[in-house]
Amino acid sequence: MAYTQTPNGTLLPAVAGADVLAGKLVTLTNNTNGMLPRAVPAASTATVVYVALPEDDSYNRPTDERFYLASEHGIGDMFGATGWTFETEQITYHKVGLASQYEATIKDGMRMIAAKGVVVAVTPNCYVDSADIKQEGALVKVASGSGNEGKFELASALDKPVGVVVGVFSDNRLSIHVF
């Protein structure tokens, strides 16, 4: 459950450009159709980053997952390029909103919030685990290496830090102030 702990900062609406775990770092790119910017997992060279957060919603439960899609993705052309088919349709329903789930995956095409200048609580799957990163005052950067896209990693002052750890929870979640 990634969530902001401070009300100030920059919260921008965006569209997920790939599946991303809530609490991971993303960069914003221009959208080809001029709508909301696309958020993609941040590369280790990125210096302007945001934290991916699920959009708050007030939908009735259970909620059809397609409600979370940005309008440009929509449900699509009913007939498609191949015409009408009678395939079995599988729809995912959420009994709990994405913002309330412990480790929500924001799927490609879903509306989301890109947060910067806020303190966020992130789960252990959003950072590269080490004893030193679990210390208040530890600087963090965008992680490098395969499988670590968009994660926080311990940084030194010489690196390009994107935030600082301001708290550690007993369940290994971290509070990080993202610059």
Integer Cα distance of 14 and 50 in angstroms: 11
pLDDT tens sequence across 27-59: 999 876 668 899 999 999 998 999 999 988 878
Integer Cα distance of 107 and 92 in angstroms: 12
Average model confidence (pLDDT) for the chain?
86
Q: Is 83 left (phi over 0), alpha (psi -120 to 50) or beta?
A: left
Cα Rg of the chain, angstroms: 17
Domain count for the chain: 1
Residue 148 belongs to some domain of the structure: yes
pLDDT tens sequence across 139-163: 999 999 888 999 999 998 888 899 9
Residue 85 belongs to some domain of the structure: no
Residue 169 belongs to some domain of the structure: yes
Using alpha carbons, select from 105, 100, 98 the residue that is nearest to residue 21: 105
* Containing structural domain, residue 58: 3-77+93-178
CB atoms within 10 A of CB 136: 11
